[in-house]
Chain A
Amino acid sequence: MKRGPCLQRSNQTHLNHLPATRVARAWIPIPSILVTLGVALLLATLVLLTVGTSPLSVYGHLLKGSIGSWQKIVQVLNVWIPLVLCATGLLYTFRINLWNIGIEGQVMIGAVFSTGVLRSEWFVGCPMSALFISMLAAMMGGGLWALFTGYLKTRGGVNEIFAGLGMNFLAQGLILWLIFGPWKRPGMASMSGTELFPPAVWLPTLLSYRLSILGLVLAIAAILVTTFLLRHTRIGLAINAIGRNPRASFLLGLRTDRYLLLTMMLAGCFAGLAGNIQVTGIYHRLIPAISCNYGYLALMVVMLSNYRILAATIIAFFFAGINVGSIQLPMALQLDSSFSGVLQGLMVLSAICFQGWRSKRRPSASRGGTP
């Protein structure tokens, strides 16, 4: 993997979405963070005031409910793991300028494949190998599901957004059919899902807390692998090049179609792994809402991070905290827990509008990486 330093540097400056003349890189974009948080909190406070509750108590509950105790932090990490897996997967597709909205379905298919492996009777003897194989199957399933969407794009000319949306609903239909049909509980089928797996095939957790170390390790590994792949390999260079200018990349001899399919498959693999962890680590069965909207949430995370991996991991933790913290809003203040979604949405909205507005005011700055 030898590349001239000149090539590498030019690649880096393009990645940071900075004008070519600027050498120094703003590591922490403080003005955008301040504006985003300020505008989002202002609007969210207005929303809270219209409902007639004290905003301070709501924010206090959000904080206490997310990082108030070790128990809560473990819960946040349990949300963070699938979120980060999806977000790292999405980075590949966003870098190549694909809007992989089908990530939600890819998570679901990962969950379906791992449930299929864990239900089968081949691995009754050795639960660890069953877990391992279910992980592989989930990655394969998610990858293939994404690959089909990719083929629809490269061969069929179907926009990946519509294809992905359609595939999401197909995956949801598949899960419902499985839960009410072939995989229903003996006696009765219900929305509460399939039967619980034996505890032997649950993801091993830390003694008193329900945190699975393996999941955490996988999430961190995904971050490292993605960073390495996108920054320091030829594949990453090709992905970024195609994302910036597909025509020129094609003329220079890159097989753009193959790279599109590759990124879709990588995203699907990561999403499938997230689905596997949802099944083996959290619910221990297949339920209709197995994906918990983490795919869609990860899309928001990556948009807010401006397609940067380190920022995405931090924002994923932040969003996971908001999600977990809002769980106790109905109990404590008789509010709906969907306040988390409002807060997250307002943040993403103000961030992308601010970025767009700034790039418009300063045309030399590139377009913030927006596909």
Chain B
Amino acid sequence: MILPDPVILFAGIVASATPVIIAVIGETISEKAGVINLSLDGTILLSAMTAFSVAYQTQSILIGIGAGTFVGGIIGAGIAALSLYCRVSQVAIGFVCALMAKDLAYFLGNAYARLNGPQIGDSPLPFLRHLPVVGPILFNHNILVYCSLLLIPLSTWFLFYTRMGLTLRAVGENPLACYARGIRPQFHQIVYSGIGGALVGLSGASFALCFKPGWGRPQGAEGTGWIVLALVIFGGWNPIRACMGAYLFAFLQVAAIYLQNRFDAIPAQIFQVAPFPLMISTLLVIQLVQQDNRKKNVASKGVFRKFLAILSGSAPASLGKSFL
């Protein structure tokens, strides 16, 4: 077995993690605002189908991306609005949307299956690409990869260092208190769920126009939505940590391709399972640390405890609960 060139390997990881990262950031924003968008799996496919078919019809990548993003935003905002004004549980409506949007994508996209459509080409950045190691890894990709790299610090800054981000988090933690302070939680939840959904839609569009080009049944993006959901929890509702999780997942996938050459009996789908045990163990750790804090065990600050505390995080307090 020949070991791959590490630079090419890491460049591949950065590229293949891109759609996952965009979706992870979108879902983190919407969950931070207290809206759990369970429909990711369907949304990604529906927006991928929309982006591809629109781009195919108009022969314009930009309009295609816009259409996919728009579809994702509508679904995200719709889930928030329906849960607020029709008093439906967000989980129920998100789950139904996940199944229905997937079927809708297959049904409407049937005419566009296995066609050659427009694709986003690589656009290496002029000077940065010649940097010794970092250049080929980070700056020799297409525009979406740069977008995802920018989104990570941008979303962190927005969530934790701006006034609007503070409002967003406050709405997710305690909408009633926000209401008393003169902030309208409904409005913010719908807007941020829409923005988060739009990012998820962008991720779907990037699948259809770049990373798994074209449309078909199966498209290749199936199951990504659930993985994103798991990664958001693994990240403890922090964009940077969630994106680290996404890179870890991409690393496992790339590694799986190399491992598959060696153990050809095992299909690559098995490696898709990896994020889920990580998600469950993160949730367990969160519970453990919270119990620990409740007992006020300040004295027991061993290395293991500190390690656990790093892995922990806390969900927005009113995640999934309807304010109205």
Contacts and interface: CB of A to CB of B under 8 A. Distances in A.
Interface of A: 47, 50-51, 99, 101, 152, 156-159, 161-163, 165-167, 169-170, 172-173, 176-177, 180-181, 184, 189, 191, 293, 296, 299-300, 303, 334-336, 338-342, 344-346, 348-349, 352-353, 355-357, 359-360, 367, 370-371
B107 A349 contact: no
B88 A158 contact: no
Contacts of A370: 88-89, 92
Contact of A341 (B102, B223, B273, B284): B102
B95 A101 contact: yes
Given A172-B269, A370-B88, 7 more contacts: A99-B91, A157-B286, A162-B229, A169-B272, A176-B269, A191-B267, A339-B107
A341 B99 contact: yes
B87 A165 contact: no
B166 interface: no
A344 B99 CA distance: 10
B279 A342 contact: no
Closest 4 CB pairs of A and B: A345-B100, A341-B103, A157-B287, A166-B276
Nearest to B265: A180
B299 interface: no
B266 A352 contact: no
B217 A336 contact: yes
A356 B88 contact: yes
Given A165-B229, A336-B107, A370-B92, A157 B86 contact: no
B265 A162 contact: no
B311 interface: no
B266 A181 contact: yes
B22 interface: no
Contacts of A167: 276
Given A181-B265, A346-B100, A47 B95 contact: no
Nearest to A297: B99
B280 interface: yes
B177 to A, nearest CB: 23
Contacts of A299: 95
Interface of B: 38, 82, 85-89, 91-93, 95-97, 99-100, 102-104, 106-111, 217, 223, 226, 229-230, 233, 265-267, 269-270, 272-273, 276-277, 279-280, 283-284, 286-287, 290
Contact of A51 (B99, B108, B272, B286): B108
A345 to B, nearest CB: 3
Given A180-B266, A360-B86, A158 B96 contact: no
B230 A180 contact: no
Given A99-B91, A296-B99, A51 B111 contact: yes
Contacts of A180: 265-267
Contacts of B276: 165-167, 169-170
Contacts of A184: 265
Given A345-B103, A349-B96, A170 B277 contact: yes
A149 to B, nearest CB: 9
Contacts of A342: 100, 103-104, 107
B100 A156 contact: no
A237 to B, nearest CB: 25
30 contacts: A47-B104, A47-B108, A51-B107, A51-B108, A152-B280, A152-B283, A157-B286, A158-B280, A161-B38, A162-B283, A165-B230, A166-B230, A169-B223, A172-B269, A173-B269, A176-B270, A177-B266, A181-B266, A296-B95, A336-B109, A338-B107, A341-B107, A352-B92, A353-B86, A353-B93, A355-B88, A356-B86, A356-B87, A357-B85, A360-B85
